[in-house]
């Protein structure tokens, strides 16, 4: 653990953030960092923020107009070189007081720096069947080492906090929850009709069900695919969209996908990646957004779709158990009958005054409960308190 140093006399606290996730495609840890630091009041906490990444254009775009952030270009794209050499060198060169990482810490720690690690989940320890064995073996030690060595450990849900504490035996160490939240533009009243026309004109997709997620077995795409197949929704003019990169092979899903694709006449669409504005249009245009994942450390997509007032069906497992506000659409994702019933009932209610009222109430609940400014303030206070320790 970093040496407990007093920063009372220092004018500024220098905070380095490992922002390499902004070099690649959108993922949960990227959304987290953008949400936290876009809303972080650096002046209030007297903190000078340095964001390090390879692609500074991406960083500048994501944090456009945000004061209190300086950008530092990384030379290496290899994560081992970054953690073993480049980041430690930056910490020393810039005289960094705190360094913030997702999941991993450098293996060599600077005694004059304090370390923050955000571990979003430890699902691979509780559900090893969904992860490659090499991932389990490597990350069990690396995550545990980071959790034990970091001065500040945080995560995104009460569920993840409990699993981190138990798996790494951190009963005597504070783990702070910084809940994920939704960007403000998801709460804008975007015209659904216009977005539906946009998606149809650009992608050739009319009415559709949507699942936004990486494709891997734990995401449970197959239950939605089976429900779509058994209900023969294409006969009602409804298609199915999977939006997300293929992360882990799922041979059962691949076989079933081909079967349903043939029977439905190519009414299933898999788009690996779309730009941010089109992602929001897909959410807004969908008849129903579905999220039948079996396990999550948090689960942002169902909150994003609900914030746009799109009817949403969400799993009630693991961290998503906290999303009880989905009511009847908060379902067991392993029960295909429940999934089919939820889809049919929601389709029957589309456009009804009762559903519209429910969607407006749901949006208000999410906006109040999940707020990046609150999470950023929690982080700022924890850094300031840690800085004052001797």
Q: What is the pLDDT of residues 120-147, one digit of tens each?
A: 999 999 999 999 999 999 899 999 999 9
Q: Answer whether residue 289 shows pLDDT above 60.
A: yes
298 CB-near residues (< 8 Å, 6+ apart): 28, 120, 121, 156, 157, 160, 179, 180, 319
User: What is the arithmetic mean of pLDDT over 375-388?
Assistant: 95
- At 89-119, the pLDDT tens digits run 999 999 999 999 999 999 889 999 999 999 9
Q: Answer whether residue 243 shows pLDDT above 90.
A: yes
Q: Answer whether residue 10 shows pLDDT above 90.
A: no
CA gap 315, 220 in Å, rounded: 10
User: 156 pLDDT band (50/70/90 cuts)?
Assistant: very high
Mean pLDDT value across the chain: 93
Decide if 146 contacts 152 (C-beta within 8 A). Answer: no
The residue with tokens 């409960």 is 369
The reported pLDDT for the residue numbered 6 is: 47
The reported pLDDT for the residue numbered 390 is: 58
CA distances from 130 to 145, 155, 248, 250, 377 (A): 23, 21, 9, 10, 35
CA gap 289, 314 in Å, rounded: 8
Decide if 109 contacts 2 (C-beta within 8 A). Answer: yes
Q: DSSP letter for 187, please.
A: G
246 CB-near residues (< 8 Å, 6+ apart): 214, 215, 216, 272
User: What is the arithmetic mean of pLDDT over 78-84?
Assistant: 88
- Residue by residue, DSSP assigns 115-173 as EEEE----HHHH-GGGS-HHHHHHHHHHHHHHHHH-SEEEESSHHHHHHHHHHHT-TTS
- At 300-313, the pLDDT tens digits run 999 999 999 999 99
- CA angle 360–178–50, rounded 5-degree value: 115
User: What is the arithmetic mean of pLDDT over 69-81?
Assistant: 91
Beginning with the edge strand found earlier in the chain, give each strand of the sheet holding 114-118 in spatial order. Answer: 69-73, 47-53, 13-18, 98-102, 114-118, 152-155, 175-177
User: 11 pLDDT band (50/70/90 cuts)?
Assistant: low
- At 167-187, the pLDDT tens digits run 999 988 999 999 999 888 899
Give pTM, 2 decimals. 0.90
The reported pLDDT for the residue numbered 5 is: 45
Element (H, E) at 381: helix 372-387
The reported pLDDT for the residue numbered 8 is: 46
What three-state secondary structure class fits 368? helix
Nearest to 35 by CA among 379, 376, 377, 277: 376
The reported pLDDT for the residue numbered 110 is: 95
User: What is the arithmetic mean of pLDDT over 63-67?
Assistant: 88
User: What is the arithmetic mean of pLDDT over 15-28?
Assistant: 86
């Amino acid at each position: 653990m970093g040496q407990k140093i007093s920063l009372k006399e220092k004018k500024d606290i220098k905070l380095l953030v490992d922002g390499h996730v902004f070099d690649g495609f959108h993922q949960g840890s990227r959304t987290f960092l953008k949400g936290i630091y876009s809303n972080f009041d650096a002046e209030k906490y007297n903190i000078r923020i340095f964001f390090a990444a390879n692609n500074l254009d991406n960083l500048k775009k994501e944090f456009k107009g945000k004061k209190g952030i300086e950008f530092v270009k990384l030379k290496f794209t290899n994560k081992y070189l970054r953690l073993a050499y480049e980041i430690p060198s930056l910490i020393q060169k810039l005289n960094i007081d705190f360094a913030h990482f997702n999941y991993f810490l450098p293996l060599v720690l600077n005694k004059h720096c304090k370390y923050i690690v955000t571990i979003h989940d430890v699902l691979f320890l509780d559900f090893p069947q969904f992860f490659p064995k090499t991932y389990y073996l490597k990350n069990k030690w690396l995550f545990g080492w980071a959790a034990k060595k970091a001065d500040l450990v945080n995560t995104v849900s009460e569920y993840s906090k409990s699993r981190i504490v138990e798996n790494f035996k951190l009963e005597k160490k504070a783990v702070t929850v910084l809940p994920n939240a939704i960007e403000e533009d998801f709460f804008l009243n975007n015209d659904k009709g216009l977005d539906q026309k946009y998606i149809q004109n650009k992608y050739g997709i009319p009415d559709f069900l949507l699942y936004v997620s990486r494709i891997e077995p734990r995401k449970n795409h197959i239950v939605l695919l089976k429900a779509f197949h058994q209900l023969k929704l294409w006969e009602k003019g409804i298609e199915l969209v999977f939006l997300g990169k293929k992360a882990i092979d799922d041979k059962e899903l691949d076989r079933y996908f081909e079967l349903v694709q043939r029977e439905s006449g190519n009414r299933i669409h898999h788009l690996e990646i779309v730009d941010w504005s089109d992602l929001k249009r897909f959410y807004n245009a969908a008849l129903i957004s579905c999220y039948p994942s079996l396990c999550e450390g948090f689960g942002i997509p169902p909150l994003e779709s609900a914030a746009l007032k799109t009817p949403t069906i969400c799993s009630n497992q693991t961290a998503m158990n906290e999303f009880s506000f989905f009511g009847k659409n908060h379902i067991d994702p392993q029960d295909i009958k429940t999934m089919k019933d939820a889809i049919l009932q929601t389709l029957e209610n589309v456009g009804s005054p009762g559903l519209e009222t429910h969607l407006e109430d749901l949006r208000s609940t999410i906006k109040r409960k999940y707020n990046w400014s609150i999470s950023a303030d929690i982080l700022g206070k924890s850094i300031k308190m840690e800085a004052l320790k001797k």
